[in-house]
Amino acid sequence: MIAYIENNYLEVITLFLQHIEITVISLAIAVIIALPLGVLLAKNAALAAIIMPVLSVIYTIPSLAMFALLIPVVGLGLEPAIIALVAYSLLILVRNVIAGFRSIDPAVIEAGLGLGLSRWQLFCKIEWVLALPAILGGVRIAAVSIIGIAAIASWINAGGLGVILFQGLNESNTPQIVWGTILVAGMALFVNYFLSVLESLALAKSKGADVK
């Protein structure tokens, strides 16, 4: 077990960093799309009824099939991987953004408008803070999913920790398979923990508490 790392640590570190890169880029793009989309859909139920089923269908496509479908369009490598990962995480993120904004007590909105806050002031000073815990919950689940699915993306030459796993499988190298699994799972666990701390801080803040 230890021997594998001793002999391959440079490659493992490179693949580990690559995995982080894929995850961060995909998550960032997905969040940038999901935030405005979620805000829009939270206030427009008719549009949500059209878009959410589309996102759900995308979510149900098996990841291997999705990667295969993207090969004729964008070829192999990082690009199709990121496109697929963004597409997968959109459902989770958008759903949570919508849930976050819809969970706000209508009386708070009414009072805010009644006091004379503009829609924009209401969004920046009030709604955003109250929706943040649910949004961060979505980011957490999306991040963990992306880390897992990104391992499969090495199948289309996107790199990352999946490379170790697939090599191990091809060569029936058990220590390698185990190391690949430990690293992917460890990364997912760490990210999950880190984001759940942020989430509970945001929750405390939204409920009224001094967050230092």
Partner 1 sequence: MTETDAIVMEGISKTFKKAQKPSLYPTDLRIESGSFVTILGASGCGKTTLLKMVNRLYEPSSGKILINGQDIARIAPTKLRRQIGYVIQQTGLFRHMTIEQNVAMVPGILGWDKEKINRRIDDLLNLVGLSPSEFRKRYPGQLSGGQQQRIGLARAMAADPSIMLMDEPFGAIDAINRAALQDEILRIQKQLHKTILFVTHDIMEAMKLGDKVIVMNEGKVQQFARPLDILRHPANEFVRDLVHSDDRLQRLAFVRAKDVMNTEAAVPDPDKEAPEAPENSTLHEILMLLLGGRTDYVQIKDEKNNPVGRVTLKEIRRA
CA distance 193 to 180: 20
CA distance 108 to 178: 51
SS3 call for 76: coil
By CB under 8 A, the residues from 76 to 115 that bind partner 1 are 105, 107-115
Q: Phi then psi for 103, rounded to 5 degrees?
A: -80, -10
Encoding tokens for residue 144?
């963990």
* Contacting residues for 121 by C-beta, under 8 A, at least 6 apart: 112
Query: By CB under 8 A, which span of 13-21, 23-31, 48-56, 125-133 interacts with partner 1?
Result: 125-133
CA distance 96 to 100: 6
4 or 205: CB nearest partner 1 = 205
59 or 128: CB nearest partner 1 = 128
Among 103, 118, 174, 200, binds partner 1 (CB under 8 A): 118
Should residue 11 be labelled a site residue for partner 1 when binding is judged by CB under 8 A? no
207 or 212: CB nearest partner 1 = 207
Should residue 212 be labelled a site residue for partner 1 when binding is judged by CB under 8 A? no
Least distance to partner 1 from the beta carbon of 200, Å?
14
Interface residue list for partner 1 (CB under 8 A): 105, 107-118, 121, 125-126, 129-130, 205-209
